[in-house]
């Protein structure tokens, strides 16, 4: 598991105030301040308009939750919403692109106007805690599913009226499934009555992979884990063929698995990458899939692409920043990934990537320093990402070379008379 270093409250508060602008009463703005970057930040989710790949929403891992929107294919972003609290996931309704959902600790957030205004419904009374993703019925925008846990068991919370009322389904309450965590839930695009949910149960301190399937829109569930390697493994990402509900892929800690029988049997994709936490089909070509490594991996970030239906995979992660991938959206030559460093896009089917963060100011600053002799020179460390420097007061930021072995910088100071001399206290 990659190490996540807690941010300094004092510095984070100072930068949160300094990254604001006058004239807007939203929770993250204050008069006399303006955002200066660095652009980007840790993203929890990414969701593309099913009818227009150039319109994408990115959910920042911030408190409160910030949702950003691009309508020009990632050239620029604007803040679409500031939710009332931290949110784990967000998605666009397949059947109604104007409708967005987001899920936080104890409530569902819904927008009917592409994120301009929001309504909230609580589900706290269900003793349910969302641990994973949210899924929306491909035909009915009011039918919503949330993966999580209840009373120590893997569970699914569903609503048929956009969150006003809820039904809780606790999955397989036998001892082998206790202390379970749901990581992902997906609804079949072509057959919305079919859903899959993946996660793991902790048995004697060891995670054991679990995959469940419903064929009746979440009313009942059955275990379809089958012959997938279970011990020390977890199903962290699922993807269903847009045209065939029987063809499903599972991204796990041990590799990628494929089923052509709706989960009845599974085959490991030989040579596939481990620590997969994001999976996605190309929306126009089901032979093309993307997979991304997650925060529980031990190696560097990797993004894999398959052009032959998932039989072989190639790492196409060059130039993608960050330590792990959270979501992927692709259609033809265009692809987007969200990471703990921001959003990256490709215009050539993953052959190359560029940062797509103009307008996204959601970086988690752990520490910073201004050069006393040159106030326009500022140094800042962004949590779990990199060390940055600006020479012009934040108009342009440069990522500095990776020069330390520790995973964080605790503090640093700039020489009072020479802005080129910087002293680092590294630790963690």
- Tokens representing 56 are 């994408």
Final residue before a domain boundary, out of 361, 379, 398: 361
For range 205-216, the mean pLDDT: 93
Most confident range, picked from 24-33, 237-246, 391-400: 237-246
Asked if the model's pLDDT at residue 371 lies above 70, the reply is yes
pLDDT of 305 reads 97
Q: Which residues pair with 231 in a beta bridge?
A: 208
- Residue 264 confidence class, pLDDT cut points 50, 70, 90: very high
| 311 shares its domain with 392 | no
pTM of the entire structure?
Answer: 0.87
DSSP state string for 10-74? HHHHHHHHHT--TT--STT--TT-------EE-EEEEEEETTEEEEEEEEES-SS-EEEEESSTT
CB 208 within 8 A of CB 202: yes
| 301 shares its domain with 316 | yes
Q: What is the dihedral of CA 263, 49, 305, 232, to 10 degrees?
A: -50
| 142 shares its domain with 280 | yes
pLDDT, tens digit (0-9, with 9 covering 90-100), for 292-304: 999 887 788 999 9
pLDDT of 10 reads 29
| 105 shares its domain with 178 | yes
- Residue 407 confidence class, pLDDT cut points 50, 70, 90: low
| 265 shares its domain with 379 | no
The tally of domains found in the chain comes to 2
pLDDT of 227 reads 85
- Residue 384 confidence class, pLDDT cut points 50, 70, 90: low
For range 236-246, the mean pLDDT: 96
| 189 shares its domain with 279 | yes
Distance between start and end Cα atoms, the chain: 14
- The pLDDT mean for the chain works out to 87
Pick the closest to residue 275 from 297, 295, 246, 291 (CA basis): 297
Asked if the model's pLDDT at residue 20 lies above 60, the reply is no
| 374 shares its domain with 247 | no
How far apart CA 176 and CA 172 sit, in angstroms, is: 9
Given the structure tokens 């493994």, which residue do they identify?
233
The CATH number of whichever domain residue 423 belongs to comes to 2.40.10
How far apart CA 187 and CA 137 sit, in angstroms, is: 6
Counting Cβ atoms within 10 Å, is residue 6 exposed (0-12), middle (13-18) or buried (19+)? exposed
How far apart CA 296 and CA 424 sit, in angstroms, is: 28
Three-class SS of residue 175? helix
CB 210 within 8 A of CB 180: yes
Residues 18-50 as b/e (b if ≥16 CB within 10 A, e otherwise) read bbbeeeeeeebbbeeeebbbbbbbbbbbbbbbb
- Residue 128 confidence class, pLDDT cut points 50, 70, 90: confident
Pick the closest to residue 229 from 279, 181, 266, 175 (CA basis): 266
| 231 shares its domain with 352 | yes
Q: How far from chain centre, in Å, is Cα 361?
A: 16
- Tokens representing 314 are 């190639």
- Residue 27 confidence class, pLDDT cut points 50, 70, 90: very low
Three-class SS of residue 343? strand
Asked if the model's pLDDT at residue 26 lies above 70, the reply is no
| 158 shares its domain with 261 | yes
| 10 shares its domain with 45 | no
Final residue before a domain boundary, out of 339, 361, 383: 361
Final residue before a domain boundary, out of 306, 332, 361: 361
| 289 shares its domain with 396 | no
| 307 shares its domain with 415 | no
pLDDT of 137 reads 97
Percent of the chain with pLDDT over 90: 63
Q: Please tell me whether the peptide bond between 38 and the residue prior to it is cis, using omega within 30 degrees of 0.
A: yes
Which of 7-21, 311-325, 369-383 shows the lowest per-residue confidence on average (mean pLDDT)? 7-21
Asked if the model's pLDDT at residue 195 lies above 90, the reply is yes
For range 166-185, the mean pLDDT: 82
Domain hosting 161: range is 39-361
The CATH number of whichever domain residue 52 belongs to comes to 2.130.10.10
Pick the closest to residue 377 from 387, 395, 390, 396 (CA basis): 390
pLDDT of 361 reads 86
pLDDT of 402 reads 64
pLDDT of 3 reads 43
pLDDT, tens digit (0-9, with 9 covering 90-100), for 335-369: 999 999 999 999 999 999 999 999 998 888 888 89
């Amino acid at each position: 598991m990659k190490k996540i270093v807690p941010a300094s409250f004092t510095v984070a508060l100072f930068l949160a105030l300094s990254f604001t602008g006058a004239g807007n009463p939203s929770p993250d703005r204050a008069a006399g301040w303006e955002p200066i970057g660095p652009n980007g930040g840790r993203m929890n989710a990414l969701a593309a308009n099913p009818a227009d790949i150039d319109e994408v929403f990115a959910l920042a891992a911030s408190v409160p939750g910030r949702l950003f929107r691009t309508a020009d294919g990632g050239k620029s972003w604007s803040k679409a919403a500031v939710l009332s609290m931290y949110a784990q996931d967000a998605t666009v309704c397949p059947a109604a692109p104007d409708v967005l959902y987001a899920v936080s600790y104890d409530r569902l957030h819904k927008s009917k106007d592409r994120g301009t205004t929001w309504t909230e419904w609580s589900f706290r009374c269900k003793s349910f805690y969302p641990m994973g993703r949210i899924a929306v019925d491909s035909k009915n925008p009011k039918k919503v599913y949330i993966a999580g846990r209840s009373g120590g068991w893997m569970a699914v919370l569903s609503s048929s009226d956009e969150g006003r009322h809820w039904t809780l389904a606790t999955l397989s309450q036998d001892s082998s499934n206790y202390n379970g965590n749901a990581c992902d839930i997906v609804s079949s695009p072509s057959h919305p009555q079919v859903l899959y949910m993946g996660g793991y149960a902790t048995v004697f301190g060891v995670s054991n992979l679990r995959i469940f399937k419903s064929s009746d829109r979440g009313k009942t569930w059955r275990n379809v884990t089958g012959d997938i390697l279970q011990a020390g493994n977890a199903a962290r990402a699922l993807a269903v063929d847009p045209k065939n509900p029987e063809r499903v892929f599972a991204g796990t800690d041990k590799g990628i698995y494929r089923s052509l029988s709706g989960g009845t049997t599974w085959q490991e994709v030989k040579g596939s990458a481990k620590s997969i936490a994001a999976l996605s089909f190309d929306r126009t070509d089901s032979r093309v899939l993307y997979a991304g490594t997650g925060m529980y991996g031990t190696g560097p970030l990797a993004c894999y692409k398959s052009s032959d239906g998932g039989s072989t995979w190639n790492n196409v992660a060059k130039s993608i920043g960050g330590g792990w991938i959270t979501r992927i959206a692709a259609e033809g030559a265009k692809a987007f990934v969200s990471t703990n460093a921001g959003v990256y896009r490709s215009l050539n089917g993953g052959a190359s990537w560029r940062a797509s963060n103009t307008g996204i100011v959601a970086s988690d600053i752990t520490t910073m320093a201004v050069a006393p002799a040159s106030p326009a020179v500022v140094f800042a460390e962004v949590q779990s990402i990199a060390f940055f420097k600006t020479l012009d007061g934040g108009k342009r930021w440069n990522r500095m070379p990776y020069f330390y072995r520790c995973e964080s910088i605790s503090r640093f100071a700039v020489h009072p008379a020479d802005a080129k001399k910087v002293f680092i206290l590294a630790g963690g």
